[in-house]
Amino acid sequence: MGNAKMGAERPLSPHLQIYRPMLTMMMSIAHRVSGASLAIGFLLLAWWLLAISLGPEPYAQVSGFFGSIVGRTLLFLFSWALIHHMLGGIRHLIWDTGRGLDKVSIEVFAWATIIGSTTLTVLLWVVGYWLKGAF
């Protein structure tokens, strides 16, 4: 059946690269990217726990890193990815029950996830800085 030439002339299904970016598609990608990046977050958590188990000096080193600009940026991105992935996951769990799969609901869920994760992350950091006595 079919040689290479014929295969090339057959109509092809649209490839990812020629789709107009859609919100729901971006949310799907964001769920994967946030999930995969949480692997780095898990590494940070393991490092933090190990440092505490090893004693005050290793803990001071880790705290020093997390307090630096690079550390704080990593922690901010980690917390955002975590909250975004959690809200996105709750969305998936709702879909698993067969609810919220209509066109309007998926758009509402998408915006709720984006706005919710950003708001909660910023709120978390404001509370964090407030507890630290920054203002």
Partner 1 sequence: MATPLKRVRGLGAAHGGTETFWRQRMTAIANIPLVLFLILSIITHIGATYDEVHAYLARPLVALALLALVVSAAIHMRIGLKEIIEDYVHGGAKVTAILLATFFAAGVGLASVVAILKISLGS
Could you say whether residue 65 binds partner 1 (CB under 8 A)?
A: no
Nearer to partner 1, 81 or 110 (CB): 81
End-to-end CA distance of the chain: 73
Sorted by sequence, the CB contacts under 8 Å of residue 116 that are 6+ apart come out as 83, 87
Nearer to partner 1, 6 or 93 (CB): 93
Angle, alpha carbons 83-85-87 (nearest 5°): 65
- List the structure tokens of 46: 């393991």
Would you give the binding string for partner 1 spanning residues 1-30, x where CB under 8 A is met?
------------------------------
Within 83-102, the residues that bind partner 1 by CB under 8 A are 86, 89-90, 92-93, 96
From the CB of 103, what's the least distance to partner 1, in Å? 24
Could you say whether residue 32 binds partner 1 (CB under 8 A)?
A: yes
DSSP type of residue 70: H
